[in-house]
Amino acid sequence: MTIDSPQTETRLLQRTLDRLAEEEAAALERLFHFLAIPSISTDPAYHDSCVAAAEWCADSLREIGFDARVEPTLGKPMVVAHWRAKEEGDKRRRVLFYGHYDVQPADPLDEWDHPPFSPRLVEDARHGAMIVARGASDDKGQVMTFIEAARAWLAEHGSLPVDVSVLMEGEEESGSPSLAPFLAAHADELAADFALVCDTGQWDEATPAITAFLRGLAFSEITITGPSRDLHSGLYGGPARNPLHALATILAALHDKDGRVAIPGFYDGIRQPPASEIAAWRKLGFDAAAFLGGVGLSTPAGETGFGILEQLWARPTAEVNGIHGGYGGPGTKTVIPSRATAKLSFRLVPGQDPDKIIEAWHRFVEQHLPPDAGATYAGEGGSPAVGFDPSAPAFRAASRALEAEWGKPPVMIGCGASIPIVESFRSQLGMDVLLIGFALDDDRIHAPNEKYNLKSFTKGARSWARILAGLGAMR
């Protein structure tokens, strides 16, 4: 598509936005078909459903003009699709859009107001119409905002403002084990000027956002061993080493009285954001009371002297995600267990290396391990933090597009979570990433009654239509 003037560009975009408005009901019906597929990647019982979701995505992309295929892996299949302009001319920009078609398990089922894979529209006093289903926000609704934008451009003009590749995986919710080898094997095919990811959120329901920073992640499962078998607590209690006691002591020592992680060397080399950036965060009007109150809490924890946004976006953490040992069934069983296990995650900031953090954690455990107790580790790995330059041309183009749709400039935010694929795109494919999503904090992702506001869906698609136009017009 060759755009001869700003007037032509505006006219083409407006026709695309009009097409999206006309197609809203049909777009919602397509999303509901997608949401009805129970593509739960963590449960082998749903493998065929994951394959069906991949096929559905490929069919949808073929329908609008992409060359799409389902590529098998040792796990869940990948969806790979390409659209290329046929006309000759100046080198066109190429983008890679990434999303995932798998979803989290729906448990506990009895907490859903409606079956999780029977999507429906629900009227809400605050949000208006909401799409409720597992995957509505994470990530099927978000993925479809982009696909619907591409559909509208192609239906109205037969072309897109940029060349587009699409990569969709089916294991994001289960650690993406197939992704790294797939990227390595298909690096040339997937190479692009930059990547687009719609798996993040807005600042609030009226304010768009571009995520410019993601924390990294390291994770570990530790098992403390003691006696050679479970022991009767009356016959051995006292003299026998109890692995649960040892584990609890180690975990209790993880933080000091000010909430700092007490692992020696944990903060070595971390890079703090400039004071101007932190000052900008403090002007965002973040409501700490509402943030905590929404999940039944009232008093900020974490590091003393840091606000909640600073903790989430610029400070590393150590969290205990699960503990198990001994008897957990009904009634009483007086036992000293032979082993106790905990799962931990460390959220990392620039300057921290996941491997070095894991090594420091192991040394910390050795220093706190009592006699007759041993430690073994499993399930360890991670990815570093990643950040981007918001002043880069693609960021500026996306920012202008979002402002045009929402009537206000987007907030450049950080994200306390980790999206390993983003670091992989940079390290393996050499691409920067635009992280633009339309989810909200109260979308209940991974929880019962997950929702996605209809406004997020419709304005998300309009936003992507504008962003594609903006990226195509970059000089």
pLDDT at residue 447, as a whole number: 95
Map 119-159 to HEC letters: CEEEEECCCEEEEECCCCCCCHHHHHHHHHHHHHHHHHHCC
Please tell me whether residue 185 adopts helix, strand or coil conformation. Answer: helix
> Considering the chain, what percentage of its residues have pLDDT values greater than 70?
98
Distance CA 231, CA 423 (A): 47
Domains belonging to the chain, first-starting first, are 6-214+386-472 (3.40.630.10), 216-270+316-383 (3.30.70.360)
Please tell me whether residue 61 adopts helix, strand or coil conformation. Answer: helix
pLDDT average, residue stretch 436-441: 96
What's the pLDDT band for 4 if we cut at 50, 70, 90?
low
- Strands 94-100 and 163-169 turn out to be parallel
Q: Rounded to two decimals, what is the model's pTM?
A: 0.84
Nearest Cα residue to 129 out of 459, 462, 454: 454
Distance CA 177, CA 128 (A): 38
- How many C-alpha atoms does 268 have within 13 Å on its Cβ side? 9
Is the confidence at residue 1, as pLDDT, over 90? no
**For 145-201, how does the pLDDT look when each residue is reduced to its tens digit (9 = 90+)?**
999 999 999 999 999 999 999 999 999 999 899 999 999 999 999 999 999 999 999
Nearest Cα residue to 425 out of 212, 187, 86: 187
φ, ψ (nearest 5 deg) of residue 410: -70, 150
**Please, are residues 57 and 168 in contact by the beta-carbon 8 Å criterion?**
yes
**For 41-62, how does the pLDDT look when each residue is reduced to its tens digit (9 = 90+)?**
999 999 999 999 999 999 999 9
CA 311 vs CA 38, 180, 306, 331, 414: distances in Å? 35, 29, 6, 40, 11
Nearest Cα residue to 94 out of 188, 16, 208: 188
DSSP string, 322-373: EEEES--SSS---EE-SEEEEEEEEEE-TT--HHHHHHHHHHHHHHHPPTT-
Highest mean pLDDT of the ranges 7-21, 223-237, 425-439: 223-237
What's the pLDDT band for 5 if we cut at 50, 70, 90?
low
**Please, are residues 317 and 418 in contact by the beta-carbon 8 Å criterion?**
no
Nearest Cα residue to 65 out of 144, 152, 170, 184: 152
**Please, are residues 135 and 103 in contact by the beta-carbon 8 Å criterion?**
yes
Q: Tokens standing for 233?
A: 């607590």
Is the confidence at residue 89, as pLDDT, over 80? no
CB within 8 Å of 36: residues ≥ 6 apart: 117, 118, 119, 133
DSSP string, 285-333: ---HHHHHHTTT--S--SSTT--HHHHHHH--EEEEEEEEES--SSS--
**Please, are residues 253 and 262 in contact by the beta-carbon 8 Å criterion?**
yes
pLDDT at residue 188, as a whole number: 96
- Strands 231-232 and 335-336 turn out to be antiparallel
**For 248-301, how does the pLDDT look when each residue is reduced to its tens digit (9 = 90+)?**
999 999 999 999 999 999 999 998 888 888 888 888 989 999 999 988 999 999
